[in-house]
Amino acid sequence: MTRKDDDGKAITMTFEFGDDQFKFLISWKVQGEWPLWFWRDIWKYPPLAEAELLKWGQPNTTIEKVADDLSFAAFWAAYKNSLGDKKKAQKLWELMPDEDKIAALISLPKYHYWLACKNGIEQLHATTYLNQRRWENDYTIKKN
């Protein structure tokens, strides 16, 4: 789950659900300071199951389901046209916390779309994407 704070900085929550048929919430990690009203709402109407959380909505908040696979192989495949030194990229990936891996994977479709719209801009080497934390860039396409 991602939203912008009062300063425009992205803040996130990462939820982990069980593997049983109900997929109940088993843990979560919070990054950034969420407003008090948000905590009241989330505890008032708790999203105990994955299906319920994916339906839950708040203003200016996006919820994205992330693949369970945070392996380097999943990143390398999703990065497409993987350029650069694969071994160096793998070392970088393995040193990253899970929150950064998730953010990097979520950003890839936006990054690829942005590249497609910006003719002539080459895709970065995977090591550059990881080293420079390029998943934090804004890949919004502005309409003219």
Q: What is the pLDDT of residues 68-110, one digit of tens each?
A: 688 999 899 889 877 778 999 999 999 999 888 988 988 888 8
pLDDT at 45: 66
At residue 124's C-alpha, the angle toward residues 117 and 85, to 5°, is: 150
pLDDT band (50, 70, 90) for residue 46: low
Give Cβ neighbours of residue 51 (< 8 Å, ≥ 6 apart).
23
- In sign, the C-alpha dihedral spanning 10, 68, 76, 73 is positive
Q: Give pTM, 2 decimals.
A: 0.59
- Nearest 5°: the CA angle 97, 99, 105 is 105
Q: Is the pLDDT of residue 41 over 90?
A: no
Model confidence pLDDT, tens digit, residues 115-135: 888 877 888 999 999 999 999
Here the tokens at position 85 are: 């030194």
- List all residues 6 or more positions away from 87 whose beta carbon is below 8 Å from its beta carbon: none
What does the pLDDT read at residue 127?
93
* Nearest one of 20, 38, 21 to 30, comparing CA atoms: 38
Q: Binning pLDDT at 50, 70 and 90, where does residue 67 land?
A: low
Q: Which helix (H) or strand (E) holds 128?
A: helix 126-131
C-beta separation of 74 from 105 below 8 A: yes
Report whether pLDDT(60) > 80.
Answer: no
Higher pLDDT, 33 or 19: 33
